[in-house]
Amino acid sequence: MKTGVKGENRFENDASRYAAYLDTPEGRLRTDLTLANLQDVWSALGERNVRVLDIGCGTGAAGIHLARLGFDVTILDSSPPMLDLARRAIIDAGVSDKILVKHGDAAELEDAIGTERFDVVLCHNVLEYVADPAAILHAAASVLRDASAILSVLVRNQAGEVLKAALQAGDLAAAENALAAEWGRESLYDGDVRLFTPEALEAMLQAASLAVIGRKGVRVIADYLPERISRSAEYDRIFALERKLSNRPEFFSVARYMQFLARPGASTRGG
C-alpha cells in the first residue's frame, strides 16, 4: 500500500519514478539489505512451506526476490500503476507461478486477504505514508500464522534525517529542526514523509502484541560516501560494510532507515 500521507497519493501518479529509484544503487541497497537482514532470522521457520505477504509491495521487487528463493508470495498494493509494473516484472522474472497479486489497502487488510495467514509479512516503507501506522501494525500482526511467524517493518529514521540534512545538504538549521521533527520531505516526489524514532516504533509494536527479535540499521553510511567512490562499481563492498554496520546498535540508531523484526508475543530486547 503506497498511500500518501495527508490525503496525497503520489504513487498513483508516477509509479515509473519509484521503479527507476529502486534500480539505483541506493534503492537496491535498501531492498537487498532488508531482505538479507530478514534472511538471518527466517531459518527459525523450519522446513514448512513458507508463505509471504508483502504489504505495500510497490513494483514487486522484494516479492520477486523471495519467489526466486522458492517461497509462495502474495503481494498487495493500493496503486494499480504499481501493480501493473509488478505484474510485468513478475512475468519477466519467470515467477508467475509463485506470486499472487492483489489490489487492496493495508488499512482494510482483512478485506483484501480474507482468512489466509502468513509465515512472513513485510511492511517496508509503508508506515511513513499512512494516516494510522499503529492500525496497520495491528492488521499486519493479525495475519501472522503462529508464534514463529515474522513481521519485518522498515521505516524512515528521524535521526537519519538529521544526518542527511547536515552531511548531504549542509543545512545546519534543517538538521537542528529534524531533531524533533515528526515529518520530513522525501526527494523522489517532494512529498511529506512520517519520521520515526526507535522508541516510538517499538511502542507501536508492543501495542500490537509483537515481540521485537531484531533491530537493524539500513543505509548507515552509503548515502554520505564521497563522490570518488562509485556506488555501482563498489556496490558489493558497500553492501558488505553496511551489513556489518547494521548489526551494531550504535550505527542502528543513526541509519537512514530502521528495520524491526518481530513475532507475536511479549516484547523482548534483542539484535
CB 8, CB 191: distance < 8 Å: yes
| pLDDT of amino acid 46 | 65
Q: CATH number of the domain at 5-156+183-264, please? A: 3.40.50.150
Span between the terminal Cα atoms of the chain, in Å: 28
Angstrom distance (rounded) from CA 122 to CA 151: 6
**Paired residues of 192 in beta bridges:** 185
pTM given for the model? 0.91
| pLDDT of amino acid 232 | 94
Query: How big, in percent rounded to 5, are the helix, strand and coil portions of the chain?
Result: 45, 20, 35
Side chain identity, residue 39: Q
| pLDDT of amino acid 37 | 94
Neighbouring C-beta atoms of residue 215, cutoff 10 Å: 23
Q: What sections of the chain are H helices per DSSP?
A: 10-13, 15-22, 25-39, 61-68, 80-93, 109-113, 133-142, 158-163, 172-178, 198-207, 235-246, 249-252
Task: For residue 195, give the C-alpha cell.
Answer: 519520521
| pLDDT of amino acid 9 | 61
| pLDDT of amino acid 6 | 43
| pLDDT of amino acid 17 | 84
CB contact set of 242 (below 8 Å; sequence gap of 6+): 29, 33, 218, 219, 220, 221, 222
Q: Which of 6, 30, 252, 264 is nearest to 148 (CA)?
A: 264
3-class DSSP state for residue 149? coil
134 backbone dihedrals φ, ψ, rounded to 5° = -60, -40
| pLDDT of amino acid 19 | 82
Angstrom distance (rounded) from CA 209 to CA 203: 10
| pLDDT of amino acid 4 | 41
pLDDT tens for the chain, 271 residues long, are: 444 444 346 665 577 888 888 889 999 999 999 999 998 888 767 667 889 999 999 999 999 999 999 999 999 999 999 999 999 999 999 999 999 999 999 988 988 998 999 999 999 999 999 999 999 999 999 999 999 999 999 999 999 999 999 998 899 999 999 999 999 888 777 788 999 999 999 999 999 999 999 999 999 999 999 999 999 999 999 999 999 999 899 999 999 999 999 999 854 444 4
Pairing of strands 257-264, 210-218: antiparallel
CB contact set of 57 (below 8 Å; sequence gap of 6+): 63, 75, 76, 77, 82, 83, 86, 122
